[in-house]
Amino acid sequence: MGMKVEKVINNNLVKSFNSKGQEILVMGCGLGFKKKPGDSIDEAMVEKVFTAQDAVQSNRLVQMLEKVPLERIQLTNEIISFAKTSLGKKLNENLYLTLTDHISFALDRANEGMMLRNGLLWEIKRFYNHEYLVGKEALSMIHKRLGVELPEDEACFCTRILSIWWPLRRNPGRRSACS
């Protein structure tokens, strides 16, 4: 038995339940178009499944995914896939929400001509070099896909977000250089 639509959030996002009875948000281009509760979800159209740990997180996910353009969400998914492969780390699911939100706001700020500076740029580049290079690649992916060139400081902000959401660290007491 496949997934069923519980609620249509928008044309690209529906609420459902997984086999364990947990509420999930299912994303895919056109996935919710002309769907109603009880309809089957075409699994071939599914791009990403978000599992909320509680009602608060579920509401945050819905609010963010409703307002962020699908192309930004898809791009963030590609960036996270690249980060997982490059860093060889399993990343916490909360990273999707945090990084999507950050990238969307960074793009909005760039469109308004507002750029944030990161005072820890040198330290991040030195102590989190591999993660920083992932952040630089994220900026390159954003530029290629959306035509927006974000400043180097944004690679540091991405590094901070990545370092916060590593689920298993060798030294759990270690804090991020950006904290």
pTM: 0.74
Domain at 70-164, CATH from 3.40.190.170, 1.10.1790.10, 3.40.50.880, 1.25.10.10: 1.10.1790.10
Both tokens of 117, joined, read 């500076």
**Which sequence spans correspond to the domains of the chain?**
7-67, 70-164
Residue 133 reports pLDDT greater than 50: yes
The reply to whether domains 7-67 and 70-164 share a CATH topology is no
pLDDT in tens, 56-102: 777 877 888 788 888 998 899 899 889 989 988 777 777 888 899 89
> What is the per-residue pLDDT for 62?
80
Level-2 CATH architecture, domain 7-67: Roll (2.30)
**What DSSP line would sit under the chain, residue for residue?**
---B-SEEEETTEEEEE-TTS-EEEEE-TTTTTT--TTPBP-GGG--EEEE-SSHHHHHHHHHHHHHS-HHHHHHHHHHHHHHHHHHT----THHHHHHHHHHHHHHHHHHTT-----TTHHHHHHHTHHHHHHHHHHHHHHHHHH-----HHHHHHHHHHHHHT-S--SSTTPPPTT-
pLDDT tens string 134-177: 999 999 999 999 999 999 999 888 888 887 766 544 444 444 44
Q: In this predicted model, which residue has the larger pLDDT, 29 or 120?
A: 29
Q: How confident is the model at residue 179 (pLDDT cuts 50, 70, 90)?
A: very low
What's the confidence (pLDDT) of residue 175? 44
